[in-house]
Amino acid sequence: MKQKNLIKKYDKQVTMYEKNRENPNMAARRRKIINSAYGNILEVGIGVGANFSHYNKEKVHVTGVDFSAEMIKSAKKAASRYQIDTELIHADLDDLDFSPESFDCIVSTLTLCSYPDPVNTLNKFNSWCKNDGKILLLEHGLSHNPFWSLTLKAIDPIYSRIAG
Ligand SMILES: C[S@@+](CC[C@H](N)C(=O)[O-])C[C@H]1O[C@@H](n2cnc3c(N)ncnc32)[C@H](O)[C@@H]1O
């Protein structure tokens, strides 16, 4: 039930994510990590494909996973627009299992805050990624500043109820 509500929230946010796909502030951060992605890539919580424009399209095959059908639809259009060789999987990441060392790189941008047990999810990434591969993360977390850290903790329950 909790996951169903979360999926509905993400389904409704597609237009907002599409508007932000080319956000220049985020683009520099995305480019910095996606530039080094290569080979057979698993991108979790792919959303509307905001990282597609930063992949080296000659060097990648991207398996993208998202549990929001609307996000997957939008990512499909973006993959064709940016000519990225993609396989898109509409599924909850928790229900998927890949063989150990299946991927050269695992990419997660702004998704770890959505998973009920992020440590377990990171352990899965570790298993699915080749030993000499790369796990590329662009995530947000608590501030080191005590005031902001307390404020973030205080608004977190309200924010997650609204945005997921
Ligand atoms: C905050 S958005 C980030 C989207 C994209 N990665 C980006 O950088 O813009 C989180 C994405 O993860 C997806 N997501 C969250 N939990 C998931 C899960 N358990 N399985 C699959 N997708 C999930 C959501 O549907 C959403 O598209």
Sketch the domain layout of the chain as residue ranges. 2-163
Handedness of CA 16, 116, 89, 80 (dihedral sign): positive
Q: What are the phi and psi torsion angles at 60 (to 5°)?
A: -130, 150
Handedness of CA 14, 18, 19, 20 (dihedral sign): positive
Mean pLDDT of the chain: 95
Number of neighbours of residue 129 by Cβ within 10 angstroms: 21
Q: How far is the CA of 115 from the centre of ligand 1 (A)?
A: 9
Q: Which residue has the higher pLDDT, 162 or 155?
A: 155
Going by CA atoms, what residue is nearest to atom 25 of ligand 1?
A: 68
The pLDDT assigned to 1 comes to 62
Hey, which of 66, 92, 98 would you mutate to test ligand 1's pocket, going by the most ligand atoms within 8 Å of its Cβ? 66
Distance CA 56, CA 17 (A): 22
Mean pLDDT of 151-160: 91
Looking at the chain, the whole-number percentage of residues with pLDDT higher than 90 is: 87
Which tens digits make up the pLDDT trace of 121-130?
A: 999 999 999 9
Query: Is ligand 1 within 6 A of the CB of residue 18?
Result: no
Mean pLDDT of 2-21: 92
Going by CA atoms, what residue is nearest to atom 5 of ligand 1?
A: 47
Q: How far is the CA of 47 from the centre of ligand 1 (A)?
A: 5
Q: What is the full DSSP assignment across 102-114? A: -EEEEEEES-GGG
Q: How far is the CA of 130 from the centre of ligand 1 (A)?
A: 23
* 49 pLDDT above the threshold of 90: yes
Which tens digits make up the pLDDT trace of 94-127?
A: 999 999 999 999 999 999 988 989 999 999 999 9
Considering the domain 2-163 in this protein, what is its CATH number? 3.40.50.150
Mean pLDDT of 13-19: 96
